[in-house]
Structure 1
Amino acid sequence: MDHGTVCVTGASGFLASWLIKRLLLSGYHVVGTVRDPGNEAKLAHLWNLQGAKERLRLVKAELTEEGSFDNAIMGCAGVFHMASPVLGQITNPREEIINPAVNGTLNVLRSCKKNPSLRRVVLTSSSSAVRVKDKVDPRIPLDESSWSSVELCEKLKKWYALSKTMAEKAAWEFCNENGINLVTVMPSFVVGPSLSPTLGSTASDILGLLQGETEKFYLYGRMGYVHIDDVALGHILVYEHENAEGRYVCNSIVLNNDELVSIISARYPTLAIPKRFEQHDRSYYDFNSTKIKGLGLKFKSIEDIFDDCVTSLVTQGHLSIP
Structure 2
Amino acid sequence: MEERMKDLEGKKVCVTGASGFVASWLVKRLLLSGYRVIGTVRDPDDENRVGHLRRLEGAPERLELVQADLLKEGSFDDAVFGCHGVFHLASPVLGTPKSDPKVEILQPAIDGTLNVLRSCKRNPSLRRVVLTSSSSTVRIRADLGGAAPLDESSWSSEELCEKLQIWYALSKTLAEKAAWRFCEESGIDLVTVMPSFVIGPSLPAALSSTASDVVGLLKGEKERFEWHGRMGYVHIDDVALSQILVYENQSARGRYLCSSTVVDVDELVAILSSRYPSLPIPKTLLKYERPHYDLDVSKLKGLGMTFRSIEEMFDDCVQSLTLQGLLSPYRY
Q: TM-score range by the shorter chain?
A: over 0.9
How far apart are residue 137 of structure 1 and its match?
A: 4.0
Identify the match of residue 94 of structure 2 among 87, 92, 96.
87
How far apart are residue 227 of structure 1 and its match?
A: 0.1
Moved over 6 A (4+): none
| Residue aligning to 2:4 | none
| Residue aligning to 2:75 | 68
Identify the match of residue 149 of structure 1 among 126, 136, 157.
157
User: What is the identity, as a one-letter code, of the residue corresponding to 2:92?
Assistant: P
1:20 paired to 2:27: yes
Q: Aligned partners of 1:13, 1:77: CA distance in 2, in Å?
A: 22
How far apart are residue 321 of structure 1 and its match?
A: 3.0
How far apart are residue 183 of structure 1 and its match?
A: 0.2
Q: Aligned partners of 2:307, 2:286: CA distance in 1, in Å?
A: 29
Q: Aligned partners of 1:126, 1:173: CA distance in 2, in Å?
A: 18
Q: Aligned partners of 1:224, 1:306: CA distance in 2, in Å?
A: 13
Give the stretch that moved more between structures: 32-41 or 178-187: 32-41
Identify the match of residue 308 of structure 1 among 307, 316, 319.
316
What SS class does the counterpart of residue 237 from structure 1 fall into? Answer: helix
User: What is the identity, as a one-letter code, of the residue corresponding to 2:51?
Assistant: A
User: What is the identity, as a one-letter code, of the residue corresponding to 1:198?
Assistant: A
What SS class does the counterpart of residue 227 from structure 2 fall into? Answer: helix
Number of equivalenced pairs: 322
1:209 paired to 2:217: yes
Q: Aligned partners of 1:52, 1:271: CA distance in 2, in Å?
A: 36
What SS class does the counterpart of residue 255 from structure 2 fall into? Answer: strand
Contact residue 138 and residue 286 of structure 1 kept, 8 A: no
| Residue aligning to 1:50 | 57
How far apart are residue 198 of structure 1 and its match?
A: 1.3
1:185 paired to 2:193: yes
User: What is the identity, as a one-letter code, of the residue corresponding to 1:41?
Assistant: N
Identify the match of residue 101 of structure 1 among 91, 97, 109.
109
Q: Aligned partners of 2:169, 2:245: CA distance in 1, in Å?
A: 25
User: What is the identity, as a one-letter code, of the residue corresponding to 1:259?
Assistant: E
User: What is the identity, as a one-letter code, of the residue corresponding to 1:95?
Assistant: V
Identify the match of residue 232 of structure 1 among 215, 240, 250.
240
Contact residue 15 and residue 88 of structure 2 kept, 8 A: yes
How far apart are residue 138 of structure 1 and its match?
A: 2.8
Contact residue 109 and residue 172 of structure 2 kept, 8 A: yes
Q: Aligned partners of 1:24, 1:243: CA distance in 2, in Å?
A: 23
Contact residue 18 and residue 195 of structure 1 kept, 8 A: yes
Contact residue 82 and residue 125 of structure 2 kept, 8 A: yes
CA RMSD of aligned residues (A): 1.0
Q: Aligned partners of 2:32, 2:329: CA distance in 1, in Å?
A: 32
Q: Aligned partners of 2:326, 2:95: CA distance in 1, in Å?
A: 21
What SS class does the counterpart of residue 315 from structure 2 fall into? Answer: helix
Contact residue 191 and residue 306 of structure 1 kept, 8 A: yes
| Residue aligning to 2:329 | 321
5+ long unaligned stretches in structure 1: none
What SS class does the counterpart of residue 219 from structure 1 fall into? Answer: coil
Question: In percent, how many aligned pairs have the same letter?
Answer: 65
| Residue aligning to 1:261 | 269
How far apart are residue 191 of structure 1 and its match?
A: 0.5
User: What is the identity, as a one-letter code, of the residue corresponding to 2:160?
Assistant: L
| Residue aligning to 1:33 | 40
What SS class does the counterpart of residue 31 from structure 1 fall into? Answer: strand
5+ long unaligned stretches in structure 2: 1-6
Contact residue 17 and residue 41 of structure 2 kept, 8 A: yes
1:113 paired to 2:144: no
Question: How does the TM-score come out when normalised to structure 1?
Answer: 0.98
Identify the match of residue 275 of structure 1 among 283, 288, 292.
283
What SS class does the counterpart of residue 288 from structure 2 fall into? Answer: coil
User: 1:121-167 deviations in whole A, cap 9, x for unaligned?
Assistant: 00000000000011024311100000001111000000000000000
| Residue aligning to 1:126 | 134
Q: Aligned partners of 1:69, 1:161: CA distance in 2, in Å?
A: 25
| Residue aligning to 2:260 | 252
